[in-house]
Amino acid sequence: MSEYILEMRDITKRYPGVTALDQVNFNLNPGEVHCLVGENGAGKSTLMKVLAGAIAKDEGHIYINDSEVNYSSPQQASRLGISMIHQEFNLAPQLSVAENIFMGRAPTRRGIVQWKQLHQDAKKSLAMLDTDLDSHRMVSTLSVAEQQVVEIAKALSVNARILVMDEPSATLSDHELTALFAIVKKLVKQGMGIIYISHRLEEIFKIGHRVTIMRDGTQVNTNEVSALDRNDIIRMMVGRELKNEFPPREIELGEERLCIKNLSRKKSFTDISFSLRAGEIVGLTGLVGSGRTEVARAIFGADPAHSGTILLDGAPVRIRTPKRAIAHGIGLLTEDRKAQGLVLGMSVCHNILMADMKDALFGPFLNPAREKKIAQKYVQDLQIKTPGVDQMAQNLSGGTQQKVVLAKWLLTQSKVLIFDEPTRGVDVGAKVEIYRLMNAVAANGVAILMITSELPEALGMCDRLLVMREGRITGELDHNEADQEKIMHLATLDTAI
């Protein structure tokens, strides 16, 4: 008999024209964090959806505590002690914490919800996580980290022994991530087995016991985390030695392209001033909540600034809507590409042409042949991995979706591009491709403002770094003088420049 709490043997899943999983083996010990990594499209999510009962396997076997199990729905998986926390939380904002934890399972008597019992039960689940979160609070008032606690409490409330965490750190600050790790360690001590999916490889070495690497629907390697280093994992993920994670840049900077003077928005940011030159990549960093995204949205006209001046190529411009920003040659690749950057139910072609359709018009009408020709050019130039321009955006990997968003803004002939967390939720191989595209765009004279929470990324890509704290810029660092310690010092300063 094995000691595994979970064993998946020879799991195979096929779709028309593609094998998503090819005889994959995976196992989990009680009291273990088993990390699962791979490039976008490697099969990680498909494997976990099979485990969670969301999709059916074509071949293979699943064992829980040495007994083979067969099930065909998330509800059946839940009854077997399997729970999955998705990157996009499955919570109802208009309901309380307690109602979300026991959604569809609230204690009732003669059809009437027993509210006192509901909150008592919710508090028991929350107490297991050492949190003082109020069970009466509306989920809409919670931070991302607090919502994640609710999702974990929901899993505990169904007595889950196997917990899948899909990109749990994607939107967390360093402080919130520390709190998450503390919760994970507490659950592990209680004997829970945790499958941890993340593109942030440094997290694997902080929290993982074992790691399984997947590539192209196959299991490449499973090993103790202590037996591998970062380069080993990257090499197995991408199938090659990945040199120059941050491609070198040798670009001669041009004239000042964008100048921001004393930009302010009440309750968001105050007195923001900086400039961008043609061909320059300037980083805007700081802790989550420091006001970086709010500044980007104000420059783009998505939210109004209450005071300050924006100059484009030396001339003052008034930008009150995204439409005006686009007309002036400013583009914004939003932090949440799925909700704000793409229309997932539309094709690659229509997403690329969304911001500028003039070249596809025949009189007042769109010409489908011209649309496809334009889209195909950008698919080829950016090496967008898609079966065709008619493919739905929702069917693409995260890195490929980000390329489609970039193609949309390149089509507008933007002079200034703002990248807000451009590599969030993207694997290391796709990150390098995005970095190379950013360098190519900058080489064509575009000024880039890059908002990022990943300090290695900021240090590796940017000519200058602006650091924010509580809505103010606390300092500016040149590429040659910047390091993580200096950035964190400026990000936690009590006074701003």
Note every long-range contact of 114-119, with CB atoms under 8 Å and residues 24 or more positions apart, other chains counting: none
Check whether residue 81 and residue 217 sit in a common domain. Answer: yes
Count Cβ atoms below 10 Å from residue 344 Cβ, excluding itself. 15
As a whole number of angstroms, the distance between CA 146 and CA 123 comes to 14
> Is the four-CA dihedral 269, 272, 277, 280 of positive or negative sign?
negative
pLDDT of residue 225: 95
Check whether residue 234 and residue 260 sit in a common domain. Answer: no
Task: Evaluate whether residue 341 is within a structural domain.
Answer: no
Count Cβ atoms below 10 Å from residue 362 Cβ, excluding itself. 10
Digit-coded pLDDT (tens) for 153-198: 888 887 889 999 888 876 666 667 787 888 889 889 989 999 999 8
Among residues 181, 209, 238, the one where a domain terminates is 238
pLDDT of residue 2: 64
Check whether residue 200 and residue 304 sit in a common domain. Answer: no
Residue whose entry in the numeric block shows the structure tokens 């499973």? 222
Among residues 238, 264, 296, the one where a domain terminates is 238
Which segments in the chain show pLDDT lower than 70? 1-2, 88, 170-175, 240-244, 493-497
Judged by DSSP in three states, 372 sits in helix
Residue whose entry in the numeric block shows the structure tokens 């300050």? 308
Q: Kindly tell me the burial class for residue 244, based on how many C-beta atoms sit within 10 Å of its own C-beta (0-12, 13-18, 19 or more).
A: exposed
Check whether residue 270 and residue 211 sit in a common domain. Answer: no
Task: Evaluate whether residue 338 is within a structural domain.
Answer: no
Cβ atoms of residues 332 and 368 within 8 Å: no
pLDDT of residue 299: 96
Check whether residue 137 and residue 262 sit in a common domain. Answer: no
pLDDT of residue 421: 87
Task: Evaluate whether residue 433 is within a structural domain.
Answer: yes
pLDDT of residue 495: 46
Count Cβ atoms below 10 Å from residue 308 Cβ, excluding itself. 18
Check whether residue 73 and residue 176 sit in a common domain. Answer: yes
pLDDT of residue 497: 44
Task: Evaluate whether residue 263 is within a structural domain.
Answer: yes
Which H, E and C letters describe 274-317, residue by residue? EEEECCCEEEEEECCCCCHHHHHHHHCCCCCCCEEEEEECCEEE
**End-to-end CA gap in the chain:** 65
Among residues 207, 238, 269, the one where a domain terminates is 238
What predicted TM-score, i.e. pTM, was given to this entire model? 0.66
Check whether residue 210 and residue 97 sit in a common domain. Answer: yes
Half-sphere exposure of 162 (CA within 13 A, CB side): 22
Residue whose entry in the numeric block shows the structure tokens 């028991």? 124
Residue type, 174: D
Check whether residue 57 and residue 128 sit in a common domain. Answer: yes
In the chain, how many domains are there?
A: 2
Task: Evaluate whether residue 336 is within a structural domain.
Answer: no
pLDDT of residue 241: 60
Task: Evaluate whether residue 39 is within a structural domain.
Answer: yes
Domain extent, residue 148, equals: 6-238
Check whether residue 232 and residue 262 sit in a common domain. Answer: no
Task: Evaluate whether residue 114 is within a structural domain.
Answer: yes
pLDDT of residue 171: 64
Cβ atoms of residues 40 and 398 within 8 Å: yes
Check whether residue 234 and residue 298 sit in a common domain. Answer: no
Give the CATH number of the domain where residue 185 resides.
3.40.50.300
Check whether residue 221 and residue 143 sit in a common domain. Answer: yes
Task: Evaluate whether residue 382 is within a structural domain.
Answer: no
Check whether residue 150 and residue 294 sit in a common domain. Answer: no
